[in-house]
């Protein structure tokens, strides 16, 4: 029996959005993954590091799954539910989890780490990253790119021409260089996403809060009903995420 709009939305509203894993969507939504395998690359870099920092670690899932923790390892997170989850996941591995704002400065001394990493940071302060890296240290991260999931954002918000230009990989590379870092690697990919029922859209927008800032079901119920009709008629709603891998080095 086909589920109703109201039942799908109510289920998604009740689901926990703590942490940074998306297993709730399994079998109901898909997202193509970048070809470079960020977690594998992170594990390779961590295995060679002696002191490392993971910025905006979320619930700690990506770092915990990387397979290698150096002798000194710290992680920062700002959102209290994620802080509690990251602490539970990472403390047994010897990682110090620090409550810290996403805005600079990082709460660490100059020249403290030979590796700084981040997956999908909301804020990137290149001068601060350069400051905490030792000479010869590297920053490895996977960033959300420009125009990511804009099909979904603009369905609810209308055209967003200014926002379309933000988070461009070329801008990130220029800002990193301006902070004194050298770009070692820069790769960009556009990746297909599909949402197969309206509940997955509600869950996704509750969890990834920057797609439709201030999203609530009550505020967007009419558009959600429009999107529900689209999904039922077409079989899914298709969008595209964008990601870029960036690796930068602080000169010796």
Q: Coil, strand or helix: which one is 51?
A: strand
Q: Coil, strand or helix: which one is 69?
A: coil
Predicted pLDDT at 148: 94
Predicted pLDDT at 2: 87
pLDDT tens digits for range 34-72: 999 999 999 999 999 999 999 999 999 999 999 999 999
Contact between 18 and 82 under an 8 Å Cβ cutoff? The reply is yes
pLDDT tens digits for range 135-184: 999 999 999 999 999 999 999 999 988 877 889 999 999 999 999 999 99
The phi and psi torsions of 244 (rounded to 5 degrees) equal: -135, 140
User: Structure pTM?
Assistant: 0.89
pLDDT tens digits for range 87-125: 999 999 999 999 999 999 999 999 999 999 999 999 999
Angle at 33 between CA 128 and CA 129, to 5 degrees: 5
Is pLDDT at 20 greater than 90 in this prediction? no
Let me know if domain 5-249 sits in CATH 3.40.50.150: yes
């Amino acid at each position: 029996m086909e589920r109703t709009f109201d039942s799908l939305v109510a289920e998604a509203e009740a689901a926990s959005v703590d942490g940074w894993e998306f297993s709730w969507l399994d079998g109901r939504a898909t997202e193509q993954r970048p070809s470079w395998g960020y977690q594998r690359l992170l594990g390779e870099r961590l295995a060679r590091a002696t002191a490392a920092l993971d910025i905006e670690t979320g619930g700690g899932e990506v770092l915990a799954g990387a397979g290698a923790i150096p002798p000194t390892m710290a992680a920062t997170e700002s959102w209290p539910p994620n802080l509690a989850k990251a602490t539970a996941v990472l403390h047994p591995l010897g990682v110090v989890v620090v409550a810290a704002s996403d805005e600079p400065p990082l709460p660490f001394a100059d020249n403290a780490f030979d590796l700084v990493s981040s997956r999908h940071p909301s804020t990137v302060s290149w001068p601060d990253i350069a400051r905490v890296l030792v000479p010869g240290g590297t920053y490895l991260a996977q960033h959300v790119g420009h125009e990511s999931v804009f099909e979904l954002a603009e369905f609810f918000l209308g055209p967003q021409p200014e926002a379309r230009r933000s988070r461009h990989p070329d801008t990130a590379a220029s800002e990193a260089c301006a902070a004194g870092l050298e770009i070692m690697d820069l790769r960009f990919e556009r990746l297909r996403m599909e949402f197969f029922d309206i509940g997955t859209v509600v869950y996704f927008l509750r969890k990834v809060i920057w797609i439709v800032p201030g999203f609530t079901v009550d505020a967007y119920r009419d558009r959600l009903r429009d999107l529900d009709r689209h999904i039922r008629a077409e079989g899914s709603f298709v969008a595209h995420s964008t990601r870029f891998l960036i690796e930068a080095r602080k000169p010796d």
